[in-house]
Copies of this chain bind each other. A is one copy, B any other.
Amino acid sequence: MRISPALENNTFEATELSAPKKSWHHTLIGHPLRTADAPHQTIGKTVGLAVFASDALSSTAYATQEIMMILAIAGTGALRNVFPISLAIFTLMVIVTISYEQTIHAYPGGGGAYIVARDNLGELPAQTAGAALLTDYILTVAVSISSGVAQIASAFPELYPYRVAIAVGMVFLVTLINLRGVKESGTIFAIPTYFFVIAMTATVILGFLRVFTGTLGQVVNPPELSLERAAEMVTPFLLLHAFASGTSALTGIEAISNGITAFREPRSRNAGITLIWMSSILGSLFLGISFLSSRIAAVPSEGETIISQLARTVFNGQGFPYLALIGGTAVILIMAANTAFADFPRLGALHAGDGFLPRQLTFRGSRLVYSWGIVALAILASLLIILFQASVTRLIPLYAIGVFLSFSLSQAGMAKRWWKSGRLKPGEEVVEPGSVIKLDRHWLFKMVINGFGAVCTFVVMIVFAITKFQDGAWIIIFLIPTMVTAFFAIHNHYKTLARKLSLEGFKSNSRVTRHRVVLFIAGVHKGSLIALNYARTMSMDVTAIHVSIDPNETQKVREKWELYGQGTRLVILDSPYRLLVEPMMEYINKLLATRQPTELLTVVVPQFVPAHWWENLLHNQTALLLRFALLFKPGLVILEVPYQV
């Protein structure tokens, strides 16, 4: 920092702040970045697909399996329903994709459910959508990492007992990468994402070729079907239940709409094209995997994943192609958590910016990322993994419900927006915080699409909540309203504070008729006399206070004060119960009780500052205790005058 001779000027600016010093954590997360470097940190379509698609694409690794897990309750015969159910989910996927494509173009500044709901439906729906998405991002991390570890454990069963520790370690790794910042993590993630897409596509195509040539058999040595519940009939409820589990395939589709600002210009176009690519890949892989799994009679199991069974059947054993696919799947799953790490802090910052979450979430760390949000996400996801022992099947009932709530609110908001657009005259504009509304010729058509999407996703959410209520969905149904309540409590705090601090009608009442200074002294020595000198520069109205515990000590203080006290009045407070802070507090309370409004009261405490920390143990921390006791007293200032030796 260069302090120019203009130090005293009213408009002085010290611009040359020296760069932060090298520190241990810079080697982990990289050297600090300037705020001015921020706009360069954007990405193109190719890297964008890698960053935002990993969440959506990776769900192909578990969605089919989770459908089968539910169907298996009615026995292996019921497993043939997996493909029809997958088709229904595919249809839903098409509807949601079209809806979001419209959203991306309407909200080039980022059109997550939160912003769309806020601009079109109001604060309560917006906070609800936000809460739903935040819980969902945490679950994305927990589910993806758990599934990734499950893939690894399928290939190397001896790792199964250590799955929780491995999963938490993975969360830590992804956290570190994200603390470095989005661009670098994009580059790191591009290669494996494309590797997974190619490997999985190749597997599915080879599988189909073998089906058509009639050479694809059934799984050799499938894992045993673990029937926790008694065999049931294939009821409509069971089918809906299985469908609900499969909707986890849709999670992650919304990621791009939240992250439009991370794309290179033209943002909306780039983001929209990326979305369509992503959904096409996702849909085809999901359908292909479901079809083939059913064909080879794969059996859902916690011990070996469906992907593993499919791969070793298609490739005739666990050779290199098998390992490549399992490895690729595991890596993309673990990286899928990265999508949540990109979006959770961004959404948290949006909430915080609107005053519904602590302001600290809007601060960007030394690497220009929202460090607080990243760390919070890492902690919460790790807790979930530990609590649910890294089991995907146990985590799934908590999962997609939040996503569908936000889908539904977002599309309802979009429908409302098209309706507003239809009310406008040509050339007329309505400017909202998140976007600008103009008349759209196709507003009715677009409104119907988004409205239909809203209804569909709402129905799916209800189905999910009912069929999975007792498996864990109740936790989320309870959690989201709790979060919304907390958000409004926080908002209320900031609003109240802003109103109370507002300068509207503020009269600068700087007239002070009396500035009374109370100086506490434990003894008469250099430290207390330095404090006395300081107190006398503030006001001539100084009273020294000594709490008397030992009469001999008090007599000494009294005599020395006659000599060195510069005539300042000394009040002795007797303390028959050998208390220090309480008599001081009582004295101050008496002073406050008789105080005039234009009177200032300052409490000065000499504070010994040792050369070594351990020397603190050899002294009373009276100043500290007094400070805590006085912190909540309105209208007085407490001040420690330090003396170093």
Contact = CB atoms under 8 A, between A and B. Distances in A.
Contacts of A14: 571-574, 583, 587
A13 B15 CA distance: 56
A625 B510 CA distance: 29
A35 B503 contact: no
Interface in A597-614: 600, 608-609
A506 interface: yes
A183 to B, nearest CB: 18
A414 to B, nearest CB: 30
Given A503-B529, A510-B536, A590-B1, A617 B569 contact: no
Interface stretch (A193-201, A245-253, A442-450, A636-644): A636-644
Interface stretch (A96-104, A384-392, A432-440, A489-497): A489-497
Contacts of A35: 549, 576-578
Contact of A508 (B11, B359, B564): B564
B501 A12 contact: no
A617 B352 CA distance: 13
A583 B35 CA distance: 15
A438 B593 CA distance: 60
A508 B563 CA distance: 11
Contacts of A430: none
Contacts of A509: 533
Nearest to A632: B609
B1 A645 contact: no
Interface residues of A: mostly helix, strand, loop or mixed? mixed
Contact of A34 (B560, B576, B608): B576
B503 A564 contact: yes
A15 B637 contact: no
A307 B365 CA distance: 69
A524 B503 CA distance: 8
Contacts of A533: 508-510, 512
A603 to B, nearest CB: 11
A452 interface: no
Nearest to A563: B503
B508 A577 contact: no
A17 B490 contact: no
A9 interface: yes
Contacts of A582: 17, 20
Nearest to A573: B14
Nearest to A548: B13
Interface string A205-243: 000000000000000000000000000000000000000
A525 B510 contact: no
Contact of A577 (B366, B569, B572, B577): B366
Contacts of A548: 13
Interface string A533-556: 110111100010000110000000
Choose among A497, A502, A526, A548 the residue with the greatest number of B CB atoms under 10 Å from its CB.
A497
A360 interface: yes
Contact of A18 (B359, B366, B512, B586): B586
Contacts of A634: 609, 642, 644
B537 A525 contact: no
A431 interface: no
30 contacts: A1-B573, A1-B586, A3-B590, A8-B569, A9-B569, A13-B574, A14-B571, A14-B574, A17-B573, A20-B577, A20-B582, A33-B577, A358-B619, A359-B619, A360-B620, A366-B579, A494-B618, A496-B645, A497-B645, A501-B526, A501-B643, A501-B645, A503-B525, A503-B526, A503-B560, A508-B533, A509-B533, A537-B538, A631-B642, A637-B639
Q: Closest 6 A-B residue pairs measured CB to CB?
A: A501-B525, A500-B645, A34-B576, A639-B639, A510-B533, A1-B586
Given A20-B577, A537-B600, A538-B538, 12 more contacts: A1-B573, A1-B590, A11-B570, A13-B573, A14-B587, A17-B573, A358-B618, A363-B578, A502-B525, A508-B533, A510-B533, A537-B538
Interface of A: 1, 3, 7-15, 17-20, 32-36, 358-360, 363-366, 490, 493-494, 496-497, 500-503, 506, 508-510, 512, 515, 524-527, 529, 533-534, 536-539, 543, 548-549, 560, 564, 566, 569-579, 582-583, 586-587, 590, 600, 608-609, 615, 617-620, 631-632, 634, 636-645
